[in-house]
Structure 1
């Protein structure tokens, strides 16, 4: 059966795209090389990252969505969108091998007049110099003449009530290889969103994502550094933010925390996947933001040890309860969450750890299991120190502050004076 859309990569960005397409009445298949993912989705089990719920998955199936593991199905789609993850490697450069694999699978089955769109996080220039080359060499077709090629950065805000994994109220940026490519991609996304924004080309669209991601990281780094500074001089950073955000221009409020997680990572484009394109100099603001945010887990552990010491206890042998181990509130997704590093560092100090999270029932930090506290208030009362790492809506911070012997709140969620805040 021919499909209007093939989504390649059924992860945190691919599944929401497929859901939006099915909702819009577009015949959709989803391909993933992981057979376990295909099997679970086909049987109605939603992913643990919360990108679609069980009810949404049921509606997708009712709308005709199929998860497939056979790449032969890709040749039957009029539009193919590549949404595979591109994680950071050990040297903090993007691993584009999943895009290469997807391109090779698609190229051998690519038909004339197909529209191919890349949504994965890549370096500026990757659509033209990386994806285009792989598709043309594998298919014998020419991008911009025989098939359309474009880049459209993924824009998702997991857990947000206003935007979340939705498409309709989030403008979609599109940059095509040619004006005709842009219009072909715009025609597709125009069925999913209220507004399509046309970039001058794929490089501009790719760099838009680069700017948006680095903007978030840099501003989080600024407020994290302010939090450390304010603590050192005895100023309530949360009150400072409350006051500053009343300014109606020139300021956007960000909140400090124990670290930065999520699928969007700060990208420094001076290290490209092709060495001949290296710029030879760093983006200094991005590097500094990475450095500031990367040291927050260590700072949280330092504050924890200091609090225990101030109350006549040593970190060695102390019972420490960690609350909320996911990267974002009210989600089960642990991608990049700082909780794992914090747990490892506290464990190195000799602390006896336990955790609670309403969305996570089994957890390992650095390959070692951490026991889960099923009775939240009893565990907080028993622990020498309770550390809030993520503020899920189910947590009653006033009640927890009353029960806990000692509470370190890294999210500023507790009432003023009820806990020690970051």
Structure 2
């Protein structure tokens, strides 16, 4: 096949739509492999920064962007899609306010591609979604171009497996699951990814590939819900969940540790399971495990709120008017990503209760208004004088930059949701 030969000889030009936490690492790997890559995004500010060799993502150095610029062409001009041989879609797939899939970005992107498609192109979707999106919904949109999938162009799905900030498993070191609309589609997509990843994992269809991604994240969501529920129970029983997990994980088989927290964050685990829940209704099926896990993981943020209120009451302080400092608003340690962060929900709940809330995060200097939250706050400096003025300090993200001894020594009351403070000897530390 002509496209396979162009891919193997690095003559194929690639287009990657969406230059975020998934798309940008892909751009980097393909450029390093010797490809010319067009990076498409609707955010002009983002494109301008990248064009200047500057990164806007903490764990990706600007030097890396400068290094790949000879082969990287960031743009907001989607007409250049017609100049590419392969297009990879890496756009958001959020939930709407009813916890239903919002595929607006994927479908709009499909409509844009359809305007500029040409015969022989490969189109790959990487955005997480329900089984059937690629070969049913997206295919129909792309075929409005007059071209037919599997005949005039190749269509495939390959789920992203990015873990921002993970230095051990970068994009190139992760096995890549690939499913094609036809065997020929699979072969072309597999060939493309073989140029940049350690291993490809071909599966029988795009639906299997889509379901694989959902299983990975549902597995994590259910197990995190389990330890979150046990945390609540063990707290009532006077048992330390963290000590229990440390002891249990010494078993060399049959156990994998998962850890409790203040709620789920990131784009994947809080969202992806509900794509399958929604799709299951089409088959008269009720996904009880998924929905129960969702209930527990949503409730856990309210549990943290209750622990804060109780701890303040024990010290004769009302939540109304209390000064509270949130440590860490990123959804996980050592990243600058606030997507679905439980810190944002907790801040909203605390302010509704009448508390005065500030935050510190070494990676997020400013919180701006989003679709869901209306914050306008700046990270305060983490100094001795600053810490001591707060009635309560709540640890939501266990950034490596946080010094547990400094925090304990200078805070009146600490609610620790991440086991940042290992010693159980401090009377001013409450586990939540």
Q: Which interval holds the TM-score relative to the shorter structure?
A: over 0.9
Match of residue 372 from structure 1: 379
Alpha-carbon deviation of 1:51?
5.8
Contact 1:383 1:405 in 2 (8 A): yes
Match of residue 367 from structure 2: 363
Query: Structure 1 length normalisation: TM-score?
Result: 0.94
In the alignment of these two chains, the number of paired residues is: 413
Superposed structure 1 runs of 4+ greater than 6 Å apart: none
Match of residue 56 from structure 1: 64
Match of residue 267 from structure 1: 273
Match of residue 126 from structure 1: 133
Cα–Cα, structure 1 residues 110 and 370, in superposed 2: closer, same or farther, change >3 Å?
closer
**Aligned Cα root-mean-square deviation (Å):** 1.7
The SS at the match of 1:295 is: helix
The SS at the match of 2:376 is: strand
Q: CA offsets, 1:112-160, max 9 Å, x none?
A: 221111101111011110111111122x111112211110000011111
Alpha-carbon deviation of 1:370?
3.8
> Quick one: which of 256, 259, 262 aligns to 1:258?
262
* Residue 116 (1) aligns with residue 123 (2): yes
Cα–Cα, structure 1 residues 126 and 254, in superposed 2: closer, same or farther, change >3 Å?
same
What is the 5 A alignment of 1:334-413?
Answer: 334-363=338-367, 366-370=373-377, 372-413=379-420
Match of residue 293 from structure 1: 297
Q: Which whole-Å CA distance do the structure 2 matches of 1:91 and 1:384 have between them? A: 36
Match of residue 165 from structure 2: 159
Structure 1 residue runs without a partner (length 5+): none
Alpha-carbon deviation of 1:53?
2.6
Cα–Cα, structure 1 residues 226 and 172, in superposed 2: closer, same or farther, change >3 Å?
same
* Residue 41 (1) aligns with residue 47 (2): no
Q: Which whole-Å CA distance do the structure 2 matches of 1:270 and 1:400 have between them? A: 41
Cα–Cα, structure 1 residues 371 and 56, in superposed 2: closer, same or farther, change >3 Å?
closer
Q: Which whole-Å CA distance do the structure 2 matches of 1:378 and 1:351 have between them? A: 20
* Residue 284 (1) aligns with residue 288 (2): yes
Contact 1:320 1:353 in 2 (8 A): yes
Contact 2:34 2:71 in 1 (8 A): no
Q: Which whole-Å CA distance do the structure 2 matches of 1:83 and 1:368 have between them? A: 27
Match of residue 8 from structure 2: none
Alpha-carbon deviation of 1:384?
1.4
Match of residue 320 from structure 2: 316
* Residue 18 (1) aligns with residue 24 (2): no
Match of residue 420 from structure 1: 430
Match of residue 40 from structure 2: 31
